[in-house]
Amino acid sequence: MGSGASAPRPQATCGQRPTMSNEERTFIAIKPDGVQRGLVGDIIKRFEQKGFKLVGMKFIQAPESLLREHYADLKERPFFPGLVSYMASGPVVAMVWEGLNAVKTGRVMLGETNPADSKPGTIRGDFCIQVGRNIIHGSDSVDSANTEISLWFKPDELCCYTSCANEWIY
């Protein structure tokens, strides 16, 4: 390496993850209204600026079968058919973010399910007005995150790497 270039850093493997006791992955989906309103970049930017690492992302027109499975815990609720229909009405951006306390912190960043109860500075507080168009979904627990990630992504669709910013964040 006489040219002054340093050796490439070894990449983390999925088997080495997580490296910190509270490091975890969360599932975040930008719903059809967020996509249609052109908010994808603004939302991704917030997670990047926070210091989370994007390890999976896909732009998908979700089939109703996937959406019924994703929202299975709500199937007895009267709004369930409308929710599935709305989520199937346009493309969504499905993502997996990784970092320290990613699930809890991600939920705080999203704001309350009802945007009227969300504080300014949260995604829903800044971009939403009505609960039926709250632009984003985020896992509410580590267990639901693991379930949702496995529904939307195959293991080989998730990237395992060490970000060069890692040592500046942690």
Q: Give the pLDDT of the chain (170 residues) as one tens digit per residue.
A: 444 444 433 334 454 444 555 689 999 999 999 999 999 999 999 999 999 999 999 999 999 999 999 999 999 999 999 999 999 999 999 999 999 999 999 999 999 999 999 999 999 999 999 999 999 999 999 999 999 999 999 999 999 999 999 999 99
Confirm whether residue 122 is marked as ligand binding: no
pLDDT digits (tens, 9 = 90+) for 48-97: 999 999 999 999 999 999 999 999 999 999 999 999 999 999 999 999 99
Task: Check residue 38 and give left, alpha or beta (phi > 0: left; psi -120 to 50: alpha).
Answer: left
**Is 70 one of the catalytic residues?**
no
Confirm whether residue 127 is marked as ligand binding: no
Which 3 state secondary structure label does DSSP give 136? Answer: strand
Give the pair of three-digit tokens for residue 145.
Answer: 């995150």
Confidence (pTM): 0.87
Catalytic residue among 103, 110, 137, 145: 137
d(CA 97, CA 23): 11
